[in-house]
Amino acid sequence: MACPFFLPVRRIGSGGWNPAPRLPLGDAYGGVCHARASSPFEPPEETQRELCNCGYARRRCSHFPDDGAADAVRFSVTGDQDARVTLVYILEKDHAPMEHGFMDYDAAGALEPLASQARAFIESYLRQRDTGRSNAATSQPL
């Protein structure tokens, strides 16, 4: 569950965790914090790994707004057919769902946190799906 104010912009290495957590966006991402809309900034990598990528930063991050509605965003693929991938997003507060909706993968993607997180999640999903298919194809007996 990534922080709802985190706008992922690039993949970062998966190191830095011991053991590595199951990452909500599929991979670790570096990006920009939009908790204060008037002054977005790029937090230190350690903060991005522990709070931005993993969510639930309320009372742990000095930039998380006291009146922030959601604590985290969760994604899951609900459909994958041909070139269309559909996912559900769930906004959580205090570890409980508070809002949800469905999105179709849009390569253009808006530059706002939820759409950017959805794009990052889908890109990780497609990379892992395609790697799995390649591995399955190469491990089949001839």
For residue 138, is it within any domain?
no
- Please report whether residue 60 resides in a domain: yes
For the chain, how long is the longest CA-to-CA vector? 60
Quote the pTM value: 0.72
Task: Tell me: cis bond preceding 65? Omega within 30 of 0 counts.
Answer: no
CB 67 within 8 A of CB 93: no
Q: What is the pLDDT of residues 97-124, one digit of tens each?
A: 999 999 887 554 445 678 888 888 988 9
Q: How far apart are CA 133 and CA 121, in angstroms?
A: 18
Please report whether residue 142 resides in a domain.
Answer: no
Q: Which domain holds residue 34?
A: 6-132
User: Based on the structure, what is the number of domains in the chain?
Assistant: 1
Helix H or strand E encompassing 9: strand 6-11
Whether 84 is in a domain gets the answer: yes
Q: Which of 85, 90, 87 is nearest to 126 (CA)?
A: 85
**Average pLDDT over all residues of the chain:** 83
Write out the DSSP string of 12-54.
--S-S-SSPP--TTSS-EEEEE-SSTTS-B---HHHIIIIITT
Determine, yes or no, domain membership for 115. yes
Which one of 11-25, 46-60, 122-136 scores highest in mean pLDDT? 46-60
Q: Would you say residue 100 lies in a domain? A: yes
> Could you tell me if residue 37 is inside a domain?
yes
Supply the DSSP symbol for 97. E
> Which of helix, strand or coil describes residue 86?
strand
- For the segment 31-43, what is each residue's pLDDT rounded down to a tens digit? 999 998 889 999 9
